[in-house]
């Protein structure tokens, strides 16, 4: 029997790295990419190195260093992380590498857990790099060793772009051999290759443009770009990445129901296969292009048609047959195909859809966990600074503070402090209190804080230190004292860092000591300049997993006045009963006790043992 | 009931399972059990999971497609069974279920903060069940209570797997051995009891 295992897409990608002989992996956590390194971390007896870097730029640079020594390397991140790493990416494309280097940038069409849905394939075009865009978790695993081969053969970085449905898909994965790490690190000096001075970079630019053409020719014959022409049909479909899987399923359904057949070109490796595109264009009267997000294949197809004077009708995003926003699925692809080729049946489906249930369902937004320290910090900020103050926010679990009224802006990692400082220096008179988590502070918030202090902004910076990178699944960071390899390491003190950057007002408080939190924010509010309040308390999930148990709380019904102050605190453990007009505490209470501080009538008490 | 279960020898089986609920209820473990069991029985399988932000108490939907080699997302109206770990969440995803499909419903409500704070209303449970019954074969019971009886309310997801074992084209023993592989060893007894209780709910 074949060696098969049921695996998460990200674990399959991690497996692919091992089967490709990877020796070095770095990355910064970000949904949907995080489990690639989380899987590698748990490998026993590693003959490779793996690290959580402080941010994506650093991760890519570290991986470049490893690849310069000849070691097969990879860096992992989510799509927006590639923006942070764009600086090294754009130039390492010129220099090239020695050992294979794969930059894994996981895209998130439909914004499942992201602030935008940018398409990493654009970066590959922009940086003149080959790109792999798998259609299934199995293909994702199988592509990685191939991608290493291409990377080493052409001495080029390659971009690997899975999407959420690959990363967080699961399937039966056929496993291959793990060969072990390839070679020993040995950097060979060559300033013409490794020093991108203008004269060297200038010489490289035309070379990398030509290399893209060569790589395109090789990928044309790869198993990832496949063409199937149907002699009986003049209709063609080109689909890329995961959209090709949905499209295949949709085509099967349509072919089963109608007499139509379609020529099909699947594109999962870039630069897109020019000869195959020409073939399908020449073979068909009409070609529909189905891809998620940006019209990258479509742009190429239209250019190729124009250059070769091919008159085939081309349908896709520019003709509104395929959406440029959100992820696709089989239904959407089927709809696109039926619309594009005029195969629509009667409108019966639409009628049925209207018969759906009339019951109104309450929305269920994600919320901070019961006992989450961020909620306490937000409540204290709100109590002291009030509703009129401005609360620039950042990226992490605490972005959910939008429900607590303490997230007024969110743009990107580290932006809370810089946006706050910008507002202050622009002359904004309202109080400004921003919030950022520990990992995000280490990622890029540090630069923003240094800038704010240097330029004499007048803001309060709340650093929500929950001792972990929580939202992405609890990865360690430089404050935690442990590495991804599982070794103990120096634990960076946020307080000492702030001091070194020149912060004159620093308070460190415990989140569950609500009175101290309030006092710290009160003093911070009256301080002119940059005041820093570090709110410390380990993530409630991590604590629970570590076996910490606190005594839960209850509402003493005769004391509750139904004022809803505790209810508005927003803890999932606190419920309000409209009938009796009092609050109750449910079984989700983890005993943080902050609601007891908040209650004005002493109605919330610890359960007696 | 047993005649509804597809023959497990048929290797061309296609069977789509929707598991939905609230982040933290163990939907991923449940879908993992089905997926692993499918691999043990040598079926192809594709699954889609909710990770990331929604896991913080948000609405989660997992798809497990036994016999699928392409996309992991279940098309509208083609799911065979919907395992609703929470009533409102079950109703939220019925558009994926085929007409006459099976719904296994945990009737234990988990109120979203929009409801606990009094800002919106949670629909009446009977209304939810009756609405489901107009189109689907519904098996509704309080799986959280059953899990408590078995020894731990956390085992609710396993009660639901037990209940669904009457329908999914996967062998009971395979499902059980997959559960044992995933859960902490200390909890095997509780979970096996939970499985049996779920299974009996349907048989009765």
pLDDT value for A565: 94
- Contact between B75 and A329 under an 8 Å Cβ cutoff? The reply is yes
| Summary mean pLDDT of chain A | 95
8 Å CB contact of A172 and B51: no
In this structure, what token pair is assigned to residue B138?
Answer: 């519904």
Question: Hey, which bits of A215-308 come out as E strands?
Answer: 225-228, 235-240, 263-267, 269-270, 286-290
**Prior bond of A32 cis (ω within 30°):** yes
> Does A352 score more than 80 pLDDT?
no
pLDDT value for B10: 63
Calpha distance A570→B119 (Å, rounded): 11
* Cβ–Cβ contact A398 with B under 8 A: no
Local confidence band at A1 (pLDDT 50, 70, 90 cut-offs): low
Contacts A473 to B, Cβ<8 Å: 51
* Cβ–Cβ contact A226 with B under 8 A: no
Could you write out the DSSP letters of every residue in A20-52? Answer: TT--EEEE---TTTTHHHHHHHT-SS-SSEEEE
pLDDT value for A347: 45
Among A33, A37, A75, smallest CA distance to A56 is for A75
* Cβ–Cβ contact A335 with B under 8 A: no
- Residues A336-371 as b/e (b if ≥16 CB within 10 A, e otherwise) read bbbbbbeeeeeeeeeeeeeeebeeebbebbbbbbbb
pLDDT value for A579: 87
Local confidence band at A358 (pLDDT 50, 70, 90 cut-offs): confident
Domains of chain A are 4-220 (3.40.50.970), 225-345 (3.40.50.920), 373-545 (3.40.50.970), 553-606 (3.30.70.20)
Q: For the whole model, what pTM was predicted?
A: 0.96
pLDDT in tens, B161-190: 999 999 999 999 999 999 999 999 999 999
CA dihedral sign, ordered A578, A583, A588, A592: positive
Q: At what angle do helices A137-154 and A9-19 cross, to 10 degrees?
A: 30
Contacts A365 to B, Cβ<8 Å: 58, 112-114
Distances from the Cα of A577 to the Cα of A405, A566, A585, angstroms: 23, 13, 11
pLDDT in tens, A92-123: 999 999 999 999 999 999 999 999 999 999 99
Local confidence band at A393 (pLDDT 50, 70, 90 cut-offs): very high
Chain A interface, best mutation among B72, B88, B100, B120, by max A CB count within 10 A: B72
Calpha distance A34→B188 (Å, rounded): 30
- Contact between B66 and B37 under an 8 Å Cβ cutoff? The reply is no
> Would residue B39 be called left, alpha or beta, if left means φ above 0 and alpha means ψ between -120 and 50 degrees?
alpha
Read off the pLDDT of each residue in A159-178 and give the average, rounded to a whole number: 97
> Does A188 score more than 60 pLDDT?
yes
Read off the pLDDT of each residue in A570-577 and give the average, rounded to a whole number: 91
Local confidence band at B12 (pLDDT 50, 70, 90 cut-offs): confident
8 Å CB contact of A330 and B75: yes
* Cβ–Cβ contact A251 with B under 8 A: no
B72 closest CB neighbour out of A113, A165, A574: A165
Phi, psi of A44 (to 5 degrees): -80, 150
> Does A63 score more than 50 pLDDT?
yes
Calpha distance A305→A288 (Å, rounded): 13
β-sheet bridge partners, residue B46: A171, B65
pLDDT value for B6: 56
Among A586, A552, A549, smallest CA distance to A567 is for A586
Could you give the percent of chain B with pLDDT greater than 70? 94
Local confidence band at A501 (pLDDT 50, 70, 90 cut-offs): very high
pLDDT value for A405: 94
Give the largest CA-CA distance in chain B. Answer: 51
Nearest CA in chain A to B125: A359
pLDDT value for B116: 83
Calpha distance B196→B204 (Å, rounded): 12
**Domain range summary for chain B, segments of one domain joined by +:** 12-114+124-203
* Cβ–Cβ contact A473 with B under 8 A: yes
pLDDT value for A578: 84
* Cβ–Cβ contact B188 with A under 8 A: no
Q: Which residues, including other chains, have CB under 8 Å from residue A459's CB and lie 6 or more apart? A: A417, A420, A421, A423, A424, A432, A433, A434, A452, A530, A531
8 Å CB contact of B127 and A249: no
Contacts B54 to A, Cβ<8 Å: 112-113, 366
Phi, psi of A118 (to 5 degrees): -60, 155
pLDDT-wise least confident of A377-391, A406-420, B104-118: B104-118
> Does B2 score more than 70 pLDDT?
no
Q: For residue B92, how many other CB atoms are within 10 A of its CB?
A: 20
Local confidence band at B1 (pLDDT 50, 70, 90 cut-offs): very low
- Which of helix, strand or coil describes residue A532? strand
pLDDT in tens, B60-102: 999 999 999 888 999 999 999 999 999 999 999 999 999 999 9
Read off the pLDDT of each residue in A206-211 and give the average, rounded to a whole number: 98
Kindly list the strands in the beta sheet with A49-52, ordered across the sheet, starting from the edge strand earlier in the chain. Answer: A49-52, A24-27, A73-78, A101-106, A158-160, A131-132, A269-270
- In the DSSP assignment, the letter for residue B187 is G
Chain A interface, best mutation among B56, B68, B174, by max A CB count within 10 A: B56
8 Å CB contact of A471 and B72: no
**Prior bond of A271 cis (ω within 30°):** yes
- Which of helix, strand or coil describes residue A399? helix
Read off the pLDDT of each residue in B126-138 and give the average, rounded to a whole number: 96
Q: How many CB pairs under 8 A join A and B?
A: 162
- In the DSSP assignment, the letter for residue A397 is G
pLDDT in tens, A20-61: 999 999 999 999 999 999 999 999 999 999 999 999 999 999
8 Å CB contact of A31 and B118: no
> Does A356 score more than 60 pLDDT?
no
Read off the pLDDT of each residue in B142-168 and give the average, rounded to a whole number: 97
Read off the pLDDT of each residue in A298-322 and give the average, rounded to a whole number: 98
What topology does CATH give the domain B12-114+124-203? Pyruvate-ferredoxin Oxidoreductase; domain 3 (3.40.920)
CA triplet A265, A271, A273: central angle to 5 degrees? 35
- Give alpha helix (H) positions in A327-397: 330-340, 348-354, 373-385
ipTM above 0.85, yes or no: yes
The CA distance from B144 to the nearest CA of chain A, in Å, is: 13
Among A215, A218, A219, A251, smallest CA distance to A233 is for A251
Calpha distance A275→A281 (Å, rounded): 10
B112 closest CB neighbour out of A360, A364, A473: A364
pLDDT value for A142: 98
Contacts A1 to B, Cβ<8 Å: 42
pLDDT value for B113: 87
- Contact between B203 and B1 under an 8 Å Cβ cutoff? The reply is yes
| Summary mean pLDDT of chain B | 92
Read off the pLDDT of each residue in A289-303 and give the average, rounded to a whole number: 98
């Amino acid at each position: 029997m074949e060696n098969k295992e049921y695996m998460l897409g990200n674990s399959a990608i991690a497996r692919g790295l091992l089967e490709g002989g990877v020796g070095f992996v770095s990355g910064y956590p970000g949904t949907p990419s995080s489990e690639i390194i989380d899987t590698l971390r748990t490998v026993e007896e590693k003959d490779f190195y793996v690290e959580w870097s402080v941010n994506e730029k650093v991760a890519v640079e570290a991986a470049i260093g490893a690849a310069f020594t000849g070691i097969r390397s990879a860096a992992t991140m989510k799509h927006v992380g590639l923006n942070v790493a764009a600086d090294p990416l754009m130039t390492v494309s010129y220099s090239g590498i020695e050992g294979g280097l794969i930059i894994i940038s996981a895209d998130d069409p439909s914004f499942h857990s992201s602030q935008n849905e940018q398409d990493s394939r654009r970066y590959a075009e922009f940086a003149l790099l080959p790109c792999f865009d798998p259609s299934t978790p199995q293909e994702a695993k199988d592509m990685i060793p191939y991608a290493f081969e291409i990377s080493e053969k052409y001495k080029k970085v390659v971009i690997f772009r899975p999407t959420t449905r690959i990363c967080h898909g699961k399937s039966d994965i056929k496993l291959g051999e793990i060969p072990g790490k390839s070679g020993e690190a040995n950097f060979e000096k060559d300033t013409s290759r490794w020093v991108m001075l203008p004269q060297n970079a200038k010489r490289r630019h035309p070379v990398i443009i030509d290399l893209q053409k060569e790589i395109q020719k090789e990928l044309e014959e790869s198993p990832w770009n496949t063409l199937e022409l149907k002699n009986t049909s003049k209709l063609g479909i080109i689909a890329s990445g995961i959209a090709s899987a949905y499209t295949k399923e949709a085509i099967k359904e349509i072919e089963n129901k109608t007499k139509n057949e379609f020529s099909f070109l699947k594109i999962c490796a870039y630069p897109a296969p020019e000869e195959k595109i020409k073939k399908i264009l020449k073979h068909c009267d009409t070609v529909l292009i189905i891809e998620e997000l940006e019209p990258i294949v479509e742009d190429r197809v239209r250019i190729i048609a124009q250059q070769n004077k091919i008159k085939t009708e081309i349908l896709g995003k520019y003709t509104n047959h395929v959406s440029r926003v959100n992820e696709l699925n089989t239904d959407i692809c089927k709809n696109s195909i039926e619309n594009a080729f005029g195969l629509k049946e009667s409108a019966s489906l639409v009628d049925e859809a209207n018969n759906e249930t009339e019951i109104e369902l309450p929305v269920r937004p994600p919320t901070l966990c019961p006992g989450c320290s961020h909620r306490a910090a937000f409540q204290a900020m709100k109590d002291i600074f009030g509703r009129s103050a401005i609360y620039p926010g950042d990226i992490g679990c605490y972005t959910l503070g939008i429900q607590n009224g303490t997230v007024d802006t969110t743009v990107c990692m580290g932006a809370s402090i810089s946006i706050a400082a910008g507002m202050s220096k622009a002359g904004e008179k309202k109080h400004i209190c921003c919030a950022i988590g520990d990992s995000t502070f280490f990622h890029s918030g540090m630069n923003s804080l240094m800038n704010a202090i240097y330029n004499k902004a007048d803001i309060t910076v709340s650093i929500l230190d929950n001792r972990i990178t929580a939202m992405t699944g609890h990865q360690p960071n430089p404050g935690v004292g442990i590495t991804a390899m599982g070794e103990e390491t120096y634990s960076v003190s946020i307080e000492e860092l702030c001091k070194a950057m020149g912060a004159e007002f620093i308070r460190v408080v415990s989140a569950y000591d609500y009175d101290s939190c309030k006092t710290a924010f009160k003093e911070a509010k009256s301080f002119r300049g940059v005041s820093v309040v570090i709110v410390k308390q380990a993530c409630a999930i991590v604590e629970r997993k570590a076996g910490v148990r606190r005594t839960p709380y209850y509402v003493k019904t005769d004391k509750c006045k139904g004022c809803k102050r505790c209810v508005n605190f927003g803890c999932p453990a606190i419920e309000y009963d409209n009938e009796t007009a009092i609050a109750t505490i449910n079984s989700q209470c983890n005993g943080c006790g902050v609601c007891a501080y908040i209650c004005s009538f002493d109605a919330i008490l610890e359960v007696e043992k | 009931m047993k005649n509804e279960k597809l023959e497990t020898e048929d290797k061309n089986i296609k069977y789509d399972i929707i598991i939905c609920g609230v982040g933290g209820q163990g939907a991923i473990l449940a879908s993992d059990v089905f997926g692993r069991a499918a691999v043990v029985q040598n079926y192809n399988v594709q699954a889609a999971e909710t990770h990331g932000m929604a896991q913080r108490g948000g609405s989660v939907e997992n798809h497990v497609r036994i016999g699928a080699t392409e996309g992991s997302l279940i098309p509208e109206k083609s799911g065979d069974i919907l395992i609703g770990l929470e009533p409102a969440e079950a109703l939220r995803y019925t558009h994926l279920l085929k007409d006459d499909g099976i719904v296994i419903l945990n009737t234990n409500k988990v109120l979203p903060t929009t409801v606990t704070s009094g800002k919106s209303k949670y629909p009446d449970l009977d209304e939810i069940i009756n609405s489901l019954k107009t189109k689907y074969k519904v098996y509704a019971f309080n799986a959280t209570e059953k899990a408590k009886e078995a020894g731990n309310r956390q085992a609710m997801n396993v009660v639901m797997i037990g209940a669904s074992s009457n329908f999914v084209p996967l062998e009971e023993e395979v499902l059980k051995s997959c559960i044992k592989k995933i859960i902490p060893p200390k909890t095997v007894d509780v979970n096996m009891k939970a499985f049996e209780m779920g299974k009996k709910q349907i048989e009765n």
